[in-house]
Amino acid sequence: MDEKYFPKKIEQKWQAKWADAKVFEVQIDDERPKFYQLEMLPYPSGNLHMGHVRNYSVGDAVAWYKRLKGFNVLHPIGWDSFGQPAEDAAVKRKVNPRDWTEENIKAMRGQLQRLGLSYDWSREIAAHRPEYYKFDQWFFLKMYDKGLAYKKMTQVNWCETDQATLSNEQASGGLCWRCGNPVTKRDLEQWFFKTTAYADELLDGLNTIEAGWPANVLKRQRDWIGRSEGALVDFEVRVPGKTGSLKPEDRRKVRVFTTRIDTIFGANAIVLAAEHPLIEEFGGGFSAEVHAKIEEILREKAKPADHEAEVEKDGIDTGLKAVNPFSGEELPVWVGNYVMMEYGTGAVMSVPAHDERDFEFAKKFGLPIRQVISEPHLAHEHHTMQALALEDPYTESGVLVHSDYWNGKTSEAAKQEMTHHAHLHGFGEAATTYKLRDWGISRQRFWGSPIPIVYCDTCGTVPVHFDDLPVELPENAPITGTGESPLSKVSEFVETECPKCGGPGRRETDTMDTFVDSSWYFFRYTDPANEILPFSPDLAAYWTPVDQYIGGDDHAVMHLIYTRFWTKVMRDLGLVKFGEPVTRLLTQGMVVGETFFDDETGKRIYAAPGEVTVERDAKGKIVSARSADGKALKFAIERMSKSKGNGVDPDEMVEIYGADAARLFVLFAAPVENELVWNEAGIEGAVRFLQRIWRFVHRWRDSFAKAASGSEQSEVARKLRRKTHQTIRRIDQSLDTLQFNTPVAALMELCNALYDSGIEPENASADEAAAVQEGVTSLVLMLTPFAPHTAEELYSVLIGNENGMLANGALFPEFSEELAADDEIEVVIQVNGKLRSKFAAKPGEDRSKLEAAALADPKAQEFIAGKEVVKVVVVPDKLVNIVVKG
RNA sequence: GCACGCGUGGCCAAAUCGGCAAAGGCGCCGGUCUUAGAAACCGGAUAUUGAAGGUUCGAAUCCUUCCGCGUGCACCA
């Protein structure tokens, strides 16, 4: 042990020792409970950023904590190595995506290793390697067999900037999830996975994992699935001019979805989406004005959505009529810009009195507003009054009025009975709709897993045989970045034999969405070399489900819905026995920093913070910023990244401060779920703290020999032991509940207590030396999750060998309730809620004694003197509050 | 607009069930050491817990309103 703390030296030393002894490589062990600690796998961009450091530091802390708690911990890592940036690099820099990716992986693996993260590197996987994506294809074929993978012509979300197809999740809010630019629509034939087949399960399954998942993720998933229960109702459509009964083949119906069938007597119109098929069908009879309006609505819809402004309701009466099947009333059929073709049936019944949107629409166009639901206590009044001027729509449940036979029924009862009635008479049925759509997985990309399908002129769409997997990507393809599938230009790839008839066939040239790779990767870690199956069900049965998953909450809907879907499919394939892959989820906040930019050109051009002159107010907030050439810049706090110039390079930090200090600081600086605003100064405090422990151990290293416990303990020794055991209790609880900042503070306090105890190696008695030894050993062990290299080194000094904690069977310290207990408690005396005095009492002293002691207290008596004691509140072990009057 | 969350010293933050006017770190100030500084060590200051009301013997903690900030959803019938 050096006298001084040289982080680099000990970090290299222990990283080598860990690697040589393969201490983090794990196998099935039925003797110990297992723990699967997982962090979201990185995209190999080539550079680790602070967000990664945070994510992986947290995961590593949990992994170490669980190891020291006696668990058999699986802690793997891999690479989400398919995806667009590799193609961008190919276009921009003329490099081969494969080479580029492999180099990046190499660089980032080195960065992770320098951070000393305790991964089982023998299980490392990479999505772009054929031995991995073979099983993307394997799963595709299994889903194809089960009817869960299908192809259809569809309008896809298309990002003009990225030249890419996006799934609904990736195009959420009309903006591209990657670049933030508006999404447009395009017609393409696409492959889909039937996520909707599991819609109910995806929703209901959330209840079973509720305890371990953040509330906001659960909420967002529920919103995204968006189940709503209601009814479908058919309205017969009449064409004006044609009277009398139509021939059956001329009869048309418009079907609406409603969650409020109980309001149907209040319907004043049917409103269609502009894309509704009925419009096409009857369009010939529409006036020019109607056509113009429909065109206008469609045009507006195609425009990028401005989310700030609320779109004003617009529409027009088509002239068609529809018959309310309940009342027989003839209603006008409108087209409205607020009705979406993608949801429900693309047609709604407009009930302005009980729906805000319909209300707004009716107000604008002067449509009648009829109240048919009333608050129960007003039902009679409302029923007798003919016209009611509603100020606002009444959207709650209530009692039906003006609804014929159904008058007086509650909304709940009416919904059931009316749905039943519609069903009985053949014009409706109960129905459930979802916002969740099937998952479009086709991408017109090169750098992804090929979809294992062959098109044959005779046999049609033919799946590749399982034995012929993987369908390997060619070495390279002409990547133009213009949105066509690069593979379609590689004839060796495209031209093949039909797996069925042996005749000429053409391969599917689209590749799969990269979210496919990440939907099942953590199962692969359990059996990474399996060539027959994605993984052995037996191995997966031991390790999975994941006990703790950690990642950014930007994946709350996409990745985490896909992987839950995938798990349910795997369950139905017999690979696993459960439907929820992740028991506990932790979403960490972003690491952000100040950015400075110029957006005059419409695009943000970032300036390096070092070259910016910043003016700050008293609170440190930025007031103004100027670039080196004196130009005023805009500023913001944004996610750290290299391109924005506010990134801190992890390698540099490790070089200057050491990996342990960097990790310790990142964990200490803020609660994990919070945003972390980067400030450079704090990390020095982390180094100082590590040095402080280091020096303490160094000072004491030769003096533990005289330690002997069991002897009579001095007051200082007992006090120190109490602090030690209280700290163990605190840290244990914190780590169990995934708090990392508070245990670091507790470790600092314990360290301070060791220094403050006044016990010196030269004159310590045997019991005092023993107390110090216990304190410092506990401190070092508990430091491990935060600063493992330093902890290992110090532990080796304390224990006298360099085999490492795990080989020595080291365990997280156990606290003793008895030693942690205070032997004397300070009880507070309040008079009328104000602190007036204190006295010492035994823990657990009974109320009457505490009360008597408080009343007898001389200082308290000063405040009670001459007044009437109204009552005395005693909180055992805490305080006595004397309430007086006068 | 709707829903949810947050607001504690200059900054980041802690405080089971309401219970000692409030931990720890950064920063700041002073001292020791040093030629000086840095580091280290020792010591110190700094909080009507966003505002106003309410409940209570007692409120950072519970309730109401307001202000500020953040996140999610955004015409989902």
A199-253 pLDDT per residue, tens: 999 998 998 888 888 888 888 898 889 888 899 999 998 876 665 555 555 678 8
pLDDT, mean of residues A125-137: 96
Element containing residue A596 per DSSP (H, E): strand A591-598
If one counts every other C-beta atom within 10 angstroms of the C-beta of residue A556, the result is 21
pLDDT at A596: 67
Q: Nearest nt to A749, CA vs C1'?
A: B24
pLDDT at A353: 87
Closest residue to B1 by CA to C1' distance? A310
pLDDT at A458: 93
Q: Where in chain A is the domain with CATH 3.90.740.10?
A: 228-433
**Confidence bin at A519 (pLDDT 50/70/90):** very high
Output the distance from A839 CA to B52 C1' rounded to whole Å: 37
pLDDT in tens, A558-609: 899 999 999 999 999 999 999 999 999 998 887 877 666 666 655 556 666 6
pLDDT, mean of residues A250-257: 85
**Confidence bin at A310 (pLDDT 50/70/90):** low
Q: Which residue in A341, A344, A339 sits closest to A355, CA to CA?
A: A339
Question: Distance between CA atoms of A348 and A339, rounded to whole angstroms?
Answer: 7
Output the distance from A884 CA to B57 C1' rounded to whole Å: 9
**Confidence bin at A874 (pLDDT 50/70/90):** confident
pLDDT in tens, A272-303: 998 898 888 887 788 889 999 998 888 877 66
pLDDT at A287: 87
Q: Nearest nt to A227, CA vs C1'?
A: B76
A405 touches A264 (CB < 8 A): no
Q: Which residue in A785, A715, A779, A729 sits closest to A749, CA to CA?
A: A779
Structure tokens at A599: 């957006």
Mean pLDDT is lowest, of A297-311, A411-425, A710-724, for A297-311
Output the distance from A768 CA to B12 C1' rounded to whole Å: 36
Output the distance from A310 CA to B63 C1' rounded to whole Å: 34
> Does ipTM come in above 0.95?
no
Q: Where in chain A is the domain with CATH 1.10.730.10?
A: 700-820
Closest residue to B3 by CA to C1' distance? A219
Closest residue to B25 by CA to C1' distance? A685
Beta bridge partners of A158: A165, A184
CATH number of A825-885: 3.10.20.590
Q: Nearest nt to A337, CA vs C1'?
A: B75
Residues with Cβ within 8 Å of residue A865, at least 6 apart in sequence: none
What is the fold of A21-127+516-588?
Rossmann fold (3.40.50)
Q: Nearest nt to A357, CA vs C1'?
A: B75
pLDDT at A187: 76
Output the distance from A589 CA to B47 C1' rounded to whole Å: 27
**Confidence bin at A527 (pLDDT 50/70/90):** very high
Q: Nearest nt to A231, CA vs C1'?
A: B77
pLDDT at A198: 93
Closest residue to B70 by CA to C1' distance? A675
Output the distance from A685 CA to B45 C1' rounded to whole Å: 20
Q: Nearest nt to A230, CA vs C1'?
A: B77
With 50 as the cut, is the pLDDT of residue A387 above it? Answer: no
pLDDT in tens, A346-382: 999 999 888 888 988 888 898 888 889 887 766 666 5
Closest residue to B75 by CA to C1' distance? A338
Output the distance from A657 CA to B41 C1' rounded to whole Å: 21
Tell me which of 3.20.20.190, 3.40.720.10, 3.90.740.10, 3.30.2000.10 is the CATH number of domain A228-433.
3.90.740.10
pLDDT at A599: 61
Residues A777-814 as b/e (b if ≥16 CB within 10 A, e otherwise) read: bbbbbbbbbbbbbbbbbbbbbbeeeeebbbeeebebbe
pLDDT at A100: 94
Q: Nearest nt to A871, CA vs C1'?
A: B57
Question: Distance between CA atoms of A791 and A221, rounded to whole angstroms?
Answer: 40
CATH number of A591-639: 2.20.28.290
Residues A676-691 as b/e (b if ≥16 CB within 10 A, e otherwise) read: bebeeeebeebbebbe
Output the distance from A753 CA to B23 C1' rounded to whole Å: 13
Output the distance from A380 CA to B40 C1' rounded to whole Å: 85
Question: Distance between CA atoms of A510 and A497, rounded to whole angstroms?
Answer: 18
Question: Which position has the higher pLDDT, A308 or A827?
Answer: A827
Q: Nearest nt to A360, CA vs C1'?
A: B75
pLDDT in tens, A480-501: 766 678 898 899 999 999 999 9
Mean pLDDT is lowest, of A414-423, A619-628, A659-668, for A619-628
pLDDT at A249: 57
Chain B positions under 7 Å from a protein CB? 4, 10-15, 19-21, 23-27, 39-42, 57-59, 71-77
Highest mean pLDDT among A51-55, A195-199, A522-526: A522-526
Q: Nearest nt to A677, CA vs C1'?
A: B12
Name the CATH superfamily for A700-820: Isoleucyl-tRNA Synthetase; Domain 1 (1.10.730.10)
pLDDT, mean of residues A547-566: 90
Output the distance from A875 CA to B55 C1' rounded to whole Å: 20
Structure tokens at A720: 């120190």
Mean of the per-residue pLDDT values of chain A = 85
pLDDT at A545: 95
Q: Where in chain A is the domain with CATH 3.40.50.620?
A: 21-127+516-588
pLDDT at A386: 45
pLDDT in tens, A9-44: 999 999 999 999 999 999 999 999 999 999 999 999
pLDDT, mean of residues A315-322: 90
Output the distance from A699 CA to B36 C1' rounded to whole Å: 29
pLDDT at A307: 46
- Please report, rounded to a whole number, the percentage of residues in chain A having pLDDT higher than 70: 87
**Confidence bin at A308 (pLDDT 50/70/90):** very low
